[in-house]
Amino acid sequence: MSDKIRIDVISDVVCPWCIIGYKRLEKAIDEMGIQDKIELEWQPFELNPDMPAEGENIIEHISRKYGSSLEDQEKSQAYMTEMGAELGFQFNYNNEMNVVNTLDAHILLDYAKEQGKQTALNLSLVKAFFTDGKDISKKEILTEALKRVDLNVEEAMLRLDDLETRERVKNKERFWTSRGVSSVPTVVFNSTSALNGAQPVNVYKQVLTELLNKKQIL
């Protein structure tokens, strides 16, 4: 049995609550000083798997999908921007942002896992979208994200055209949805328990403490 806590973070790189949830989880782990006891892997989830290549304006998208008014969206974005700042992440919302398809991003994250740089690439992609306002479905933007974390661009980009890789990532998505994951972030601990949504730091600490105590008993 591994002496580490296995954490699967099911998320999408265009999900604001996912980066907030991760940053809170990261803070919990850092404050507990248990970085060496954690084995974390990002798992794919597409919020908009049918999104066309050109994407959709963020205001129109959220209005269509969730029925939110412009005023509601602006309040929500201001709230998320404030929470992000408290956690060291910068949201730069504007009405010209486009919500895009993220399958290629997830395929590159699958590659980055093999290189031990999955978290670094995930954060690079999230920053590109939410902080820099870039279209992370475009290959030139994906290339920039790969370069920022010193990954082999040529090797990584070949994965986008590999049918076996694409199907593996889609199968991972189907696996998690078959297990009841319908919203993100969902954080799964040791494949046995899960927390939905961006939980407070103290909630993550409580779960991690219980799991560590259980390992000591075993």
What is the length of the chain? 218
**Could you give the CA distance from residue 44 to residue 144 in angstroms, rounded to a whole number?**
21
Give the pLDDT confidence of 179-205 residue by residue, as tens digits: 999 999 999 999 999 999 999 999 999
Give the pLDDT confidence of 21-37 residue by residue, as tens digits: 999 999 999 999 999 99
CATH superfamily, domain at 5-217: Glutaredoxin (3.40.30.10)
This prediction's pTM: 0.95
- State the SS3 of 145-159: HHHHCCCCHHHHHHH
Using the structure block, give the residue that is written with the tokens 């999104």. 51
Which pair of tokens denotes residue 182? 């319908």
**Could you give the CA distance from residue 3 to residue 199 in angstroms, rounded to a whole number?**
25
**Could you give the CA distance from residue 78 to residue 59 in angstroms, rounded to a whole number?**
14
Give the pLDDT confidence of 96-119 residue by residue, as tens digits: 999 999 999 999 999 999 999 999
Give the pLDDT confidence of 42-68 residue by residue, as tens digits: 999 999 999 998 899 999 999 999 999
Using the structure block, give the residue that is written with the tokens 């507990």. 32
